[in-house]
Amino acid sequence: MRQIVFRHQARRELDEAGDWYEQERIGLGLEFFAEIERLLNRVTSNPEQFPILYRGTRKAVARRFPYCVYFRERNQHIVVLAVFHSARNPEAWKSRVK
């Protein structure tokens, strides 16, 4: 299985979203993290199942929460570029692709 590497900004987005859900309801933040972990397990087992959107960057959509994970495959690693709420402008993450 491939190792997951988070870019700093993506890790911050993930943590902030989990904190927000936890403040909304105790335990909901943990449920959010569990959902993202399930999604990342799917990504690491078969990244090619997710569509390429821009310069080799793929998009994985969470099932229970309105979040998408944008990632790239690099040297047997999965590099997470962004963890975005679906209401955010999807063009914003493109500046992170080099």
pTM: 0.90
Helix axes 28-45, 8-24, angle to 10 degrees: 140
3-state secondary structure of 63: coil
pLDDT digit string (tens) for 16-39?
999 999 999 999 999 999 999 999
3-state secondary structure of 54: strand
- Domain 3-96, CATH among 3.30.479.10, 3.65.10.10, 1.10.10.10, 3.30.2310.20: 3.30.2310.20
pLDDT digit string (tens) for 34-83?
999 999 999 999 999 999 998 899 999 999 999 999 999 988 899 999 99
Q: Where are the beta strands (DSSP E) in the chain?
A: 3-6, 52-54, 57-61, 67-74, 77-85
